[in-house]
A = this chain, B = another copy of it.
Amino acid sequence: MTELLPKQVLGDLREAVGDDWVLADPDRLLVYEADAQTAHTRPPQAVVLPATTEEVSAVARALHRHRVPMIPRGAGTGLSGGAVALEGGVVVGTSRMTRILHVDPGNRRALVQCGVLNSELNAAAAPYGLHYAPDPSSQTACTIGGNVAENSGGPHCLKYGVTSRYITGLRVVLPHGEVVELGGQGREWGSFDLVGLFVGSEGCFGLATEVEVALLPLPEAARTLLAIFETVEDAGRAVTAIISGGLLPAALEIVDRNTIRAVEASIFAAGYPTDAGAALVVEFDGVEAGLEAQAEEAARCCREAGAREVRRARSEEERTALWKGRKKAFGAMGRLAPDLLVQDATVPRTRLPEVLARITEIGERYRLQVANVFHAGDGNLHPNLVFDRRDPEETRRVEQASAEIMKVCVEAGGTITGEHGVGVDKRKYMSLVFTPAELEVLRGVKGAFDPMGLCNPGKVLPDHLEAP
């Protein structure tokens, strides 16, 4: 049960943001008990919704004074429990901080408040022929501030790179309420890279209230292919052939047989053949000239790797249709069973086929359905385990299989997360990839920002936990 906050704390918070923007009613707090990964739940002691940097600073000062943990939260689309108040404390939501402050086409930058949605930033940049490249699948719901916290990826990050490449400045409220400017206006170089360090810090170093991003020209044109394979290993070999042939697609995405079947059984049916072992989406974008030759070359790689069919989008509608099976995969899988554990790991691209084979074996051994969706070009895997958490025995099998999958990825030279963060869910795996000396450095860096340990406590660092 969540303890009530002392009246004086609530009073100070109300003074900071106004009565309307402090939620303390248990019914309203329930909305904030989990993020999109529902394995870790606890309602916060209160939620505050500030509108400006100054209000966030006043909130942080009040919480720090009363030694109450602060849990920054964007849209709550995270998948590792990072925005949940598991050790108590107050969630600081950013849903009112939605102003696009400035779009500067000459310097190809924009300055936004942290609660702006990824897709809204893109809409604001489009009239200038620009876009913000990182495109998490949740981009119509997730916020730029959340993308900063998680260093989010997305299908097109193969070519364009992940969030950290595009964040050039941050206005940050530190855990004790002080406001600092990191980078900004071309200041991304000079002294230690605190901007880069803050990106991906999962809400443990403070709350970024304003974010300056680099924009790119909208690609002039695109070519999209869908290749159908008998086995996921063949699809993996096509990926290797495309990359080692020197091509640089904007996206290289694989969905496996279980995923295809889930999609085709759902309202998102995209016309992928349900007897196929895997489907590979390949997209090239950029200037028109040259795209056709690249697409032809990729189609040839797919056929040589054993594709039984290669479809080409001939219009924007056909392109959307080819993407549909990939983009709606998580939604479709959610319908297979009450619960879905979306795993996230990264392996060197060349190790994909063997790792996939081992994941299949693990799923069979634990009698679990595993559906794989992956950013194949980056080696970023999402093995998804469907289950019913009302069944404790099945839930245990999911946990055990999940831990084995993580170990397999690490043994193949990979790591325990690709884009969803460590949060709460992966803390137990941190010792697989970090030595005690390395964890000590991570703790030291966290301590430089948050000496009292009050900012998103219990996340990322595996303190007070047993080995997996």
Contacts and interface: CB of A to CB of B under 8 A. Distances in A.
A189 B185 contact: no
Contacts of A6: none
Copies of this chain in its oligomeric complex: 2
Contact of A460 (B162, B191, B197): B191
Contacts of A433: 187, 190
Given A448-B441, A448-B445, A190 B416 contact: yes
A18 to B, nearest CB: 26
A196 interface: yes
A415 interface: yes
A467 interface: no
Contacts of A192: 197, 200-201, 204, 442, 445-446, 460
A41 to B, nearest CB: 23
Contacts of A437: 174, 178-180
Interface string A291-335: 001100000000000000000000000000000000000000000
Most interface-central of A162, A446, A448 (chain B CB within 10 A):
A448
Which range holds the interface residue count of chain A?
A: 35 or more
A444 B442 contact: no
A364 interface: no
Contacts of A201: 192-193
Given A217-B248, A437-B174, A437-B180, A346 B189 contact: yes
SS class, residues of chain A in contact with chain B: loop
Contact of A438 (B181, B286, B447): B181
A107 B182 contact: no
B438 A108 contact: no
A311 B193 CA distance: 39
Nearest to A108: B243
A409 to B, nearest CB: 9
Contacts of A448: 441, 444-445, 447-448
Interface string A67-107: 00000000000000000000000000000000000001111
Nearest to A287: B290
Closest 7 CB pairs of A and B: A444-B448, A289-B290, A196-B196, A185-B413, A106-B350, A187-B415, A217-B246
12 contacts: A162-B189, A180-B438, A189-B415, A189-B418, A191-B442, A192-B201, A192-B445, A192-B446, A193-B199, A441-B448, A444-B448, A447-B448
